[in-house]
Structure 1
């Protein structure tokens, strides 16, 4: 029997899970609901709940603010996902500029049910991705968590975030159109989710990677105030937005890559979307790599940075979970790829340097890691350092900013459970998604479906749905994040609460400023 640092044992967790199961109603997955109709939308039965897919929530012309879709109209069979935003990924999916669609999974369509609502925004930075990913299908979360799940697609890349305001007032909302799409979707939820059995007064937004960053940005957008009542970000932060100067330089690089004249905004507005997507390979003039498009500090839709110089006051009262995975970068710095081939102590510093967003002497960094963890291999140091210097700092800054501002309702986690099906994968970026959604067996999941995976999924799902239902995670032992303790829930085969579990790494990387990717 192993006791956790918070005094919780494995036996305690098993007993608690069993007690909850005994008190629960008949599992919704055991039911076979008949297809339901809500308004003009005919849903389909899926894994014991009602699914409504491909509901249009808005329409938009290119580079213009979207307008809401009328609720009334011709009958629609909502049984398939709508097209996703055109992008340089997911080319096996139907793509179209007309991509403002959302999806709803609900245990029942009785307006009196008033279940908590969980609205998910997908990852892929601001450039790629979609909620059609099997990892984020909402049926099991709706059923096992007894909530209404909504997933949202919106405009991405240049279509959603190109900064065109210097071309005139007609483009005043550009730079943040993708964010405004999400606000329009949340307004749809506010106005219509009761008809699907949801409670518009209990709406939680959650998102992974870019989805979390979108949520952090919404927390500083006045038009989003009051549209959600809790938030959870999973490996996704937005400390700063892109400044308009940098955003304009990126737009100019994009226009040049498309071989348009510098002032030819009409050509940009009317060219075939396939050609516009090709231009996304333009080199970013600020950070290098493919050109970055993301939220812009436009002083109207986004009048301040989300978490600089502090946590945006409008959202300090919104209960929030912030999470990260212990070795994020194993997902995009392939352990089987060329960046790891021949890695040793003689070249590790040079290989770490281009992967981090904090400007420290990499030789000194490696020396600190070897001093603190003398038993680690070069590979372990490489992934720990690139995670702590690239993917984790934003979450620390956001959590500390909320704590410093007195936002008591903040909880932090890190996922430590390594993949049982791919040892080189370890615990990497995106690996918390199937645990929260309950999609352990879905394509793209590295969790496995063994008993420890199922137990952890039940625990993480209970934590997230608890926040949606009550404004507190559904784990009574999870203490809020306060300074200087920095209580952190470690999700692993043994779930435990620790104070500041990566303290020396946090302090090491805090000796120099963090550069938000994209700024």
Structure 2
């Protein structure tokens, strides 16, 4: 049965969404003013209230960006929706039938043909806020894989957020605030705190979760005083707590400025046609990858949003009160190395040169080679890069929280089911369709293939739901035995200290 026209009344005005099978969706909802004109390189400003009922039945504009380069564009669908009002979000919420009784203390129905889902007896449902990845230059909340229906079906109010990308979100200028994209995320979380009760959500039970650049953003938010109190739990998927010093991060902005032949200032960039800006940005960042390096946009230590290195801040006890679930896929590197041919092109000599360049200890490299006698030099390089950039930092963070006596739980996972598509294996981003339980979508199947195990998706999705609702994903928290929940290649199972010899080899 299809229900039409549910409405909510927010502090900024009324919204009309759509509802189907007990789930309401409110799409393209602005949480800040459009970042154009004088606001283009400025911190987000609160959204202006509106009169009447605002339609919220279609995704809003995405942040300015270019598509992924082939062949990743076929594997990672990335909708591009034109418009200036890109600081918007989407809400999926469980929705009572129109004739359902409104519980005391919950929002009331506002229309005869559909109304706000009433709050649960304890004051509201758990809320999850999704921050998408994409190397801080791609992605959006409109990616079909991120559809929030399954979370709402299972009792979660799901929010997905757009934020500024590339040089407009993470450029470093002498005349503009740093980390504008992070400031956007904080503005969205502030909107959730002030508004989510209208959708039946509990602002005291917010879990922020994200993957890749979204996970790196969350690690920075965990260390940011400006985000303190805006969420109770966090999920970090395939990202580590990293940030660059301003002087290092500025080089990418300067390289874009050199391409454009303009000064590296926000004032000068604001006068550049956006298409030319995106073209220059793509040329500067197009030759690197998250694992091989090159020019890229990064979270920066700006002294305000991110006062210090996030890894150091978290190790010293920042967000010790926040429950934390984090992990990686087993073969992150294969998304970048396999389609591009790196695994086949890298020979023993090039491998050793790259390991020396990236300061991988020789003893560590020897151990990985000895344990992988059938793998190509490029695959061993990828395994080392995956662990150096992701698995080892997350293990160290879990250890630091354990040693510091963090009051909240810490849980680790690893996703190991292997995709048959292009021999991608358990690559970066593969777990997303499992977490969102969207395996049946064609956009998800582009990466997973048609026969991904629905039972594994049900188990992983349920763990994320349980963590958001209770702080416990369903397995033992981190302790000296180093428990890691492995999702695939077979049934989910708890493994203590996986690949421990390789992990220890980094402690030199």
TM-score tier by shorter-chain length is 0.7 to 0.9
SS in 2 for 1:67: coil
Shift of residue 253, structure 1, vs aligned partner: 2.3
Structure-2 change in CA distance of 1:98 and 1:273 (3 Å): farther
Structure-2 change in CA distance of 1:261 and 1:236 (3 Å): closer
Match of 2:271 in 1: 270
Match of 2:444 in 1: 444
The one of 71, 74, 87 aligned to 1:100: 87
Cα distance between partner residues in 2 of 1:455 and 1:286: 36
SS in 2 for 1:412: strand
Moved more, 410-419 or 378-387: 378-387
Any idea what the Cα deviations from partners look like across 1:112-164, whole Å, max 9, x if unmatched? Answer: 23111111000012221112111111112211x21111000000111111121
Any idea what the Cα deviations from partners look like across 1:260-294, whole Å, max 9, x if unmatched? Answer: 145x5422122221122122146479999653222
Match of 2:506 in 1: 509
C-alpha contact 2:60 2:88 (8 A) present in aligned 1: yes
C-alpha contact 1:57 1:102 (8 A) present in aligned 2: yes
Structure-2 change in CA distance of 1:74 and 1:313 (3 Å): farther
C-alpha contact 1:138 1:149 (8 A) present in aligned 2: yes
SS in 1 for 2:343: coil
The one of 19, 28, 53 aligned to 1:75: 53
Cα distance between partner residues in 2 of 1:187 and 1:266: 28
Match of 1:154 in 2: 163
SS in 1 for 2:424: coil
Match of 2:259 in 1: 257
Q: What is the number of residues matched between the two proteins?
A: 461
C-alpha contact 1:45 1:51 (8 A) present in aligned 2: yes
| 1:491-506 mapped onto 2 (5 Å cutoff) | 491-492=487-488, 493-506=490-503
SS in 2 for 1:36: strand
SS in 2 for 1:150: strand
Shift of residue 444, structure 1, vs aligned partner: 3.2
| Superposed CA RMSD | 2.7
Shift of residue 392, structure 1, vs aligned partner: 2.7
C-alpha contact 1:57 1:188 (8 A) present in aligned 2: yes
Q: Normalization by structure 1: what TM-score? A: 0.82
Match of 1:332 in 2: 336
Any idea what the Cα deviations from partners look like across 1:334-357, whole Å, max 9, x if unmatched? Answer: 2x54323366xxx24524754898
Structure-2 change in CA distance of 1:385 and 1:47 (3 Å): farther
SS in 2 for 1:55: strand
Shift of residue 111, structure 1, vs aligned partner: 4.1
* Residue ranges of structure 2 left out of the alignment (5+ in a row): 69-77, 96-115
Structure-2 change in CA distance of 1:472 and 1:361 (3 Å): closer
1:488 aligns with 2:491: no
The one of 131, 134, 138 aligned to 2:144: 134
Shift of residue 312, structure 1, vs aligned partner: 5.5
Shift of residue 236, structure 1, vs aligned partner: 1.4
Structure-2 change in CA distance of 1:310 and 1:187 (3 Å): closer
| 1:61-72 mapped onto 2 (5 Å cutoff) | 61-72=39-50
Shift of residue 49, structure 1, vs aligned partner: 1.0
Structure-2 change in CA distance of 1:296 and 1:258 (3 Å): same
Match of 2:8 in 1: 38
Match of 1:110 in 2: 117
Cα distance between partner residues in 1 of 2:178 and 2:483: 36
Cα distance between partner residues in 2 of 1:342 and 1:333: 10
Structure-2 change in CA distance of 1:123 and 1:509 (3 Å): same
Cα distance between partner residues in 2 of 1:286 and 1:439: 30
Cα distance between partner residues in 2 of 1:357 and 1:489: 33
SS in 2 for 1:206: strand
* Residue ranges of structure 1 left out of the alignment (5+ in a row): 1-30, 512-519
Match of 2:112 in 1: none
Structure-2 change in CA distance of 1:357 and 1:506 (3 Å): farther
Match of 1:405 in 2: 404
SS in 2 for 1:102: strand
C-alpha contact 1:281 1:291 (8 A) present in aligned 2: no
SS in 2 for 1:53: strand
Match of 2:247 in 1: 245
Moved more, 306-315 or 76-85: 306-315
Shift of residue 53, structure 1, vs aligned partner: 0.5
SS in 2 for 1:332: helix
SS in 1 for 2:505: helix
C-alpha contact 1:327 1:427 (8 A) present in aligned 2: yes
Cα distance between partner residues in 1 of 2:251 and 2:477: 41
Cα distance between partner residues in 2 of 1:341 and 1:286: 18
SS in 2 for 1:105: strand
| 1:61-460 mapped onto 2 (5 Å cutoff) | 61-89=39-67, 93-108=80-95, 109-113=116-120, 114-143=124-153, 145-164=154-173, 166-167=174-175, 171=176, 174-239=177-242, 241-261=243-263, 265-281=266-282, 283=284, 291-308=295-312, 310-311=314-315, 313-334=317-338, 336-341=339-344, 347-348=347-348, 350-351=350-351, 354=354, 358-360=358-360, 367-374=366-373, 376=375, 381-407=380-406, 408-419=408-419, 421-422=420-421, 424-442=423-441, 443-445=443-445, 446-447=447-448, 453-460=453-460
Q: Normalization by structure 2: what TM-score? A: 0.84
Match of 1:52 in 2: 26
Moved more, 151-160 or 491-500: 491-500
Structure-2 change in CA distance of 1:314 and 1:339 (3 Å): closer
Match of 1:20 in 2: none
